[in-house]
Amino acid sequence: MNKKTQKGNLSRRNLFKFGAGAIGTGVLTAGIGSKLMVLEPAVAQQKDITPDQALQSLIEGNQRFVARKRRNPNQTPTRLVEVAKAQKPFASILGCADSRVPAEIVLDQGFGDLFVCRVAGNIATSEEIGSLEFGSLVLGTKVIMVLGHRRCGAVDATIKGAQVPGQIATVLDAIKLGVERSKNIPGDQLENATKANILVQVEKLKSSTVLSQLIDTNKLTIVGAFYDLDTGKITMVS
């Protein structure tokens, strides 16, 4: 066997290992379109809760954070060892990269509870959507929360038409639709645009074939939420 063939076999072997680790004891069945597969995770692989219960857990966690009554769940050395073997997050977060909005803290969650994607402007890029599809389809998260926040610098820069270098412009381009939709809404322009942007990103996620199938089968819900930097409170955006 030559070196090229050996490398090919090793690559395929590694791929199989990844697939086995991601799927665990789940069963693959045809379900999304003609070329995609839907994962039906084994009950033992994740918390047996509904999408509504998962969302309620996030809301209650934030309420504890605001009331300064955090429980700091699942943050023990025992939990660290437990999730090192496998992860079973119950919720996914598409949040802004802003350093002032750490999801696990403001939602009072711990190791292995949240599958988090963070990017400036909490935008649903192809890479973010793919990651969240994985989180819901393979890992079994029951809710995706798009979490924007007050005084978002990315939204503010988009409103002002800032001229930016490098790839920063791609972030602003993804926010423009939300800014456009909020133009005629009375009140604070930045807050209105931020909330409109959250809803745009929710729409993008719901347009995913993978995620929409999970929603249709009552395995997932996708919501928008707004974080107040001053109070720490999260409110739902509709």
Q: Report pLDDT for 209.
A: 98
Is 182:152 a contact under the CB 8 Å cutoff? Answer: no
Q: Report pLDDT for 138.
A: 98
Per-residue pLDDT of the chain (238 residues; tens, 9 = 90+): 554 444 444 443 443 343 434 433 333 333 443 333 333 333 334 558 999 999 999 999 999 999 999 999 999 999 999 999 999 999 999 999 999 999 999 999 999 999 999 999 999 999 999 999 999 999 999 999 999 999 999 999 999 999 999 999 999 999 999 999 999 999 999 999 999 999 999 999 999 999 999 999 999 999 999 999 999 999 999 7
Dihedral (Cα; 157, 66, 200, 127), 10-degree rounding? 80
Residue from 75, 151, 154 nearest 107 by CA: 75
Q: Report pLDDT for 208.
A: 98
Domains of the chain: 45-237 (3.40.1050.10)
Residue from 50, 109, 117 nearest 234 by CA: 109
